[in-house]
Every structure is written in C-alpha cells, then in structure tokens.
C-alpha cells in the first residue's frame, strides 16, 4: 500500500531546469569524491543476470525479482538485478583487485515489491561499490573509518550544492554518530524500529546504525538482511554482533529520517555458513556464487550502495523522489503530490 508524506506549505526551492542541472552536478561531483575517498575504479555493470546462480541479491530476503525468458538461450530465465553486492565481489576477483582498492558502478534496478512513497520507487538507481580488504580489516573500527570517509564525501557534496544554489541552506552535521541496533533498542525500548531511527536521527542529524540483520534482545531484527552478503553475525572486537549497518540522516523537509546507504563488511566462509544455517537456507550453498566463496576464490570485501536519486533529493531539498527521477506512480498519489506542491516528473 502506497503512502505519502505531504509537508505543510511545501514549495520546491528550485525549478525544473535548475533541478535537472543540479542532478547532473551532484551525481558527477559525488561519484568522483566517493571514488577518491575509497580508491575505487568505475566498471560497467549488468542490468540483469541469469536466474539460479545466486548472483542476484535478496535484499531483505523476501523481495521478488522481475524476470523474463531469453528466446535465444532456450527460454533461460533472466532476473533484473535488485542490487549488485554479490556480482561486485565476483568482479573484484575477475579484475584481480588488490587490498585497499575497489570498484564502483552505476546500478539500475527494478524493485516491483517496493511500497511506493516519498522515498521509494519501482526504479532504483544507486552507486554500488565494493573494495578488497584483508583479514585484519574485518573489524568495527575499520567499518567506521570507511563510513566517515563516505560521510565526508556527502558533506562536500552538500557544500557544493549550497554554494551553487544559495537558496539552499545546509542542514547536515559535521560528524556522524555511531550506535549499535541493540543500544538503540535499549535507548528506546517502547518504539518500533522505524520510530527508533527517527528518534536517533533527529537527535544527532546523521547516524550509522550497526548490526542490521542480527536478532536483538527482543527476539527481533532491527531490519532484515539476506544471509549471503553483509556479515551481521560475527562478534566484533567490542563484543557487539554484526559488521554492517545503515547511514541515516534527519531530513527536515519531510520531518523524518532517511536511509542514504546500506553497507557492510561482507561474509567470509564461516559467516556465510553460520548465516545460512540461522536463516534455514543451507541449500543455497550449492549455488554458483556460494560455491565460489566457500572454495576461497573470492576476496574478502566491504561494500554498499548509495541511492543516486535519494542523494539528489536531499541535496536539492525535494519532498518526493519523483521530483528527481521518472517512474510510475499511482494516479491518486500523482494528484495528491500536485495538490501538495510536489511536481513529479
């Protein structure tokens, strides 16, 4: 069921022409900064992959991929990608990328099961990145260093946007705050996961919530994660579980938190086996990607995705992602958006 936030008195700061120019500016500037911060080289990525290889990502573990038959390959089924977490890791091995370096790509996807709202669209565009690490890098301290570098690139992009368009006022804090999902539950025990995200983001402005996917003291996960890419089950050096997380910011235009990136240190052999067992998905060990990982043919890595349209949306102070990208929206939502001052493309 689609849902819509209608900010009272909303009026877009920039017109359509300025918005299109701003989108180009932000995308080009941010990806160059991200590549510099993390030492990434751009590669070309697929829009779809063959079904049954275990390469496509399950995200929260329940989303259905868009699929179609390929006539010239005996009706073999292809799937439009959800994201490229596992494909990128295969590519790191194929390109023989060394520790301390990585790749990034423009990822385009269709997520047909998405609940449509101000932030979620059927069409997904993001910078997907992956870097090779060493065994010694599989720590929370290393994860947090990478998060700070990504956040530094986000801050520089905000500065550029506000310098280019003086009508825009910066709102992001200078520092990002770190908190584990269990600490967040302890802090707000009566709230839902989304309410906890809003509360902590409102308090700090920008936050990285760690341990997404592991079960908390209430027997629930803060949010779901598939078993075969992020490592959410390894106990880190501080005794807390999980080497992954989400970057969130407080977005004053909507009065809610927004997730900008889901990322993490990826599973090694032991974490993969453990997480498949925990999720009751041991049959996935027979898939191509999983066989490659279990055979030691894939490098240790860290990676994530950063929404392109979503980043542009917050940098240009828009209230709906449909003001940034062209997609399909329910007719009722389009009417309500127009009445509320949100001009969808």
| Triad 245, 250, 256: Cα angle to 5° | 100
Active-site residues: which are they? 57, 111, 126, 246, 259, 262
Query: Taken in order 193, 199, 204, 205, is the CA torsion positive or negative?
Result: positive
Paired sense of beta strands 244-251 and 256-265, if any: antiparallel
What tokens appear for 318 in the block? 């828009």
64 and 226 Cβ atoms separated by less than 8 Å = no
The partner residues of 110 in beta bridges, in order of sequence, read 123
pTM summary value: 0.93
pLDDT, position 84:
87
| Highest CATH level, class, for 16-42+83-339 | alpha beta
Residue matched to tokens 């009706």:
75
229 and 268 Cβ atoms separated by less than 8 Å = no
What tokens appear for 303 in the block? 């990676």
Query: Taken in order 304, 309, 315, 318, is the CA torsion positive or negative?
Result: negative
For 114-143, give the DSSP string.
PPPSSS--SEEEEEEEEEE--GGG-SHHHH
Q: List per-block mean pLDDT (blocks of 10 residues) for the chain, which spans 345 residues.
A: 85 95 97 97 92 70 80 92 87 97 94 90 94 98 98 98 97 98 97 97 98 95 92 96 98 96 97 96 92 96 96 98 95 94 93
24 and 86 Cβ atoms separated by less than 8 Å = no
Domain ranges of the chain: 16-42+83-339
């Amino acid at each position: 069921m689609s849902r819509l936030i209608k900010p009272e008195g909303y009026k877009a700061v920039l017109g359509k022409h300025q918005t299109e120019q701003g989108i180009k500016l932000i995308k080009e500037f941010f990806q160059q900064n991200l590549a510099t911060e993390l030492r990434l080289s751009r590669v070309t990525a697929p829009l779809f992959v063959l079904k049954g290889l275990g390469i496509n990502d399950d995200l929260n573990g329940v989303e259905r991929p868009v699929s179609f038959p390929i006539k010239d390959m005996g009706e073999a089924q292809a799937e439009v990608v959800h994201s490229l977490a596992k494909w990128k890791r295969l590519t790191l091995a194929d390109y023989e990328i060394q520790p301390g370096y990585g790749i990034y790509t423009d990822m385009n996807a269709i997520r047909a099961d998405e609940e449509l709202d101000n932030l979620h669209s059927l069409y997904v565009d993001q910078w997907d990145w992956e870097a090779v690490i060493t065994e010694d890098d599989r720590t929370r301290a290393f994860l947090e260093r990478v998060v700070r570098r990504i956040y530094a690139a986000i801050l520089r992009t905000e500065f550029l946007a506000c310098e280019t368009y003086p009508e825009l006022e910066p709102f992001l804090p200078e520092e990002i705050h770190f908190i584990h999902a269990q600490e967040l539950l302890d802090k707000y025990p009566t709230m839902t996961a989304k309410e906890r995200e809003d509360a902590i983001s409102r308090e700090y402005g920008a936050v990285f919530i760690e341990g997404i996917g592991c079960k908390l003291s209430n027997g629930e996960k803060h949010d779901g994660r598939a078993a075969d890419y992020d490592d959410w089950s390894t106990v880190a050096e501080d005794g807390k579980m999980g080497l992954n997380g989400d970057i969130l910011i407080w977005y004053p235009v909507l009065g809610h938190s927004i997730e900008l990136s889901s990322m993490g240190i990826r599973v090694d052999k032991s974490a993969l086996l453990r997480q498949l067992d925990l999720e009751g998905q041991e049959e996935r060990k027979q898939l191509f990607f999983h066989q490659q990982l279990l055979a030691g043919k894939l490098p240790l890595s860290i990676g994530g995705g950063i929404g392109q349209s979503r980043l542009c949306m917050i940098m240009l102070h828009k209230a709906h992602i449909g003001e940034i990208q062209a997609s399909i929206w329910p007719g009722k939502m389009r009417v309500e958006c127009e009445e509320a001052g949100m001009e969808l493309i």
